[in-house]
Amino acid sequence: MKAEKRAEKTKKHTEEQKSTLRVSLTTAFITTFMGSALNLAIPDMGEYFDVSAAFLGWIVTAYMLAVATMSVPFGKIADTTGRRRVMILGILFFTLFNIISVFAPNMATVIVLRTAQGVAGAMIFATNTAILISAFPGKERGKVLGKMTAATYIGLSAGPFMGGFLNHYLGWQSIFATAALVGIFAFVTAVRKLPGGEKLITEGRHDYAGSILYVAMIILTMYGLSNITSGRYAWIWVLAGMVAGIFFVLVELRAANPVIQVRIFISNMVYTLSNIAALLNYGATFAIGYLMSIYLQVVMGYDSQTAGLILVTQPLIQAFFSPMAGRWSDRTEPYKLASAGMGICALCLFFFSSVSLETPLWAIISALCVTGFGFALFSSPNTNAVMACIKPKDYSVASSILATMRSLGHTSSMSLVTVIVGAYMGTASLASARPELLIKTMHTAFIVFTGLCIVGILMSLKRKTASEK
């Protein structure tokens, strides 16, 4: 009798693990699919709404800024109200805002809705990794993180291909409609299959002051950086964000139930360096898809469908190698794999800084493939290194901080692009820009990103010294 109950309990636990994995993979797919698919529609959206190239960058930046701003607060909320509940609501809102975006009458509305999608995306990012890690033992962590990373890159792979196809034949609105359909599937799957009953952390009052200061810090700093070349008071916004950050740290050090355990960044340097490495690597590589999409369509003259087929090579390679990298990180020190991956990415960024009208297509595709392999070596091993540093009760917040590093990296990447584009092109549209000017703009951006990646490699390698102390 006891053996039967034990077998039944084991079977139930296994089914719950499978369901959790399905939901995590689905949400990892949907959030990345939307971003990569929309990149291929940006030139057409600029022409449709008749807006400047600098303004177009906010289609991506608004989403990433919202994710970066809200991931940590939602991570704390998930710990106190339930990770399952927060994830399901995030999927629901993400889907609804995509449906509304189909009918957006102007670019301002699109950006507002993209911001709302980012808030919903933050609810997903703050919970999906935490829910997945909680369901599997430490010895399987790298393997399931590798699968989740693969799902992320499958979304990135499907995005350019389907985004280019949909935009070419049905218009940019069809991309939002397709994302909504995937969202409906994810929502139904989560409601029906995602197990509940997790233990909640309820001690202490919610840190409202810390949450408000955190949101203010991110918004003010990122908004200021994004408007350095076009806003008269941009530096004031940046300074205000830094001041909010100082007050945030002071409040968190005294709070009984802080949004972020600030002291962990001082006491656990492996955790700190892993998050910094994530910030710098995502910041250095995120704009590759955006810049190369413009290069292929505006400079080289390919249509969005063809450009999508070319750009799909990078995330396809990432999807293929990520599960392997995850398994490798269970058997070797993750920082070694992550550092090697960043080194490969730095070499490819340096190559992109020299592309021209004469660069052969095979060289572009080869560089995208190598970048994909490098990023696969970095992503899941680095996530494994982060999650191995903290206790299970802190998984949601740790997951949300890592998501914030990723989103801050993405936002900073697009902010740098916006600054560089604004400096070279002002308010000119993409369609009216000379190819030589666009290429010069890209060269500057990729040189800056190469430098960021090199700094990230140094931070990643320092984890060996920190772990020995």
CATH of the domain at 57: 1.20.1250.20
Q: What is the pLDDT of residue 168?
A: 82
Which residue in this structure is represented by tokens 């398994």? 327
Alpha helix ranges (H) inside 255-286: 264-267, 269-285
In a domain, 180, yes or no: yes
Residues 230 and 300 in one domain: no
Maximum distance among all Cα pairs of the chain, rounded to whole angstroms: 78
Nearest to 404, CA basis, from 160, 257, 217: 217
Q: Are residues 440 and 313 in the same domain?
A: yes
- Looking at the fold, whether 293 and 309 belong to one and the same domain comes out as yes
CA 124 to CA 183: how far, in whole Å?
Answer: 12
CB atoms < 10 A from the CB of 105, how many?
8
**Euclidean distance between CA atoms 329 and 143, whole angstroms:** 8
Rg (Cα) of the chain, in Å, rounded? 21
Question: Residue 228 is part of which domain span?
Answer: 204-256
**Number of domains the chain is built from:** 2
Question: What stretches in the chain show pLDDT beneath 50?
Answer: none
Distance between alpha carbon 336 and the CA centroid of its chain, in Å? 22
- For residue 381, which of 326, 418, 433 has the smallest C-alpha distance? 326
Statement to judge: residues 40 and 98 lie in one domain: yes
HSE of 215, CA atoms in CB hemisphere, 13 A: 12
Q: What pLDDT was estimated at residue 346?
A: 93
Domain co-membership, 415 together with 450: yes
Asked if residue 129 and residue 264 are part of one domain, the reply reads yes
Same domain, 338 and 283: yes
Please state the three-class secondary structure of 444-460 as a single string.
HHHHHHHHHHHHHHHHH
Same domain, 241 and 370: no
H/E element, 15: helix 2-39
Long-range residue pairs from 230-234, CB within 8 A, at least 24 positions apart, any chain: 230/54, 230/422
Amino acid at 227: N
Six-digit token pair at 229? 């070349």
Sign of CA dihedral 146, 148, 149, 155: positive
CA atoms of 266 and 258, how far apart (whole Å): 15
Which two three-digit tokens encode residue 43?
Answer: 């030139």
Residue 7 lies in a domain: no
Shared domain for 175 and 216, answered yes or no, is: no
- One-character DSSP codes across 126-195: TTHHHHHHHHS-GGGHHHHHHHHHHHHHHHHHHHHHHHHHHHHHH-THHHHHHHHHHHHHHHHHHHHH--
Same-domain check for residues 98 and 209: no
Quick one: 349 and 305 in the same domain? yes
First-to-last C-alpha distance (Å) of the chain: 50
Q: Tell me if 197 is assigned to some domain.
A: no
Place of tokens 């949004």: 259
State residue 10 phi and psi, 5-degree precision.
Answer: -65, -40
What 3-state DSSP class applies to 70? helix
Phi/psi for 85 (5° steps) reads -65, -45
**One-letter amino acid identity for 138?**
G
d(CA 74, CA 121): 10
The 3-state secondary structure of 348-413, one letter per residue: HHHHHCCCCCCCCHHHHHHHHHHHHHHHHHHHHHHHHHHHCCCCHHHHHHHHHHHHHHHHHHHHHH
Does 221 reside within a domain? yes
Residue 9 lies in a domain: no
Cα–Cα distance for residue pair 436/448, rounded to 1 Å: 19
In a domain, 437, yes or no: yes
CA pair distance 125, 404, nearest whole angstrom: 9
Output the pLDDT for position 198.
57
| Nearest-angstrom CA–CA distance, 408 and 269 | 20
- What is the rounded distance in angstroms from the CA atom of residue 360 to the CA atom of residue 348? 15
Model pLDDT, residue 373: 92
382 in Cβ contact with 334 (< 8 Å): yes
Q: Is 109 exposed, middle or buried (CB count within 10 Å of its CB: 0-12, 13-18, 19+)?
A: middle
Residue 391's CB is within 10 A of a number of other CB atoms, namely 7
Residue 390 covered by a domain: yes
**Residue among 49, 28, 27, 308 nearest 173 (CA):** 49
Flag whether 10 is in a domain. Answer: no
Q: Are residues 43 and 97 in the same domain?
A: yes
Residue type, 40: L
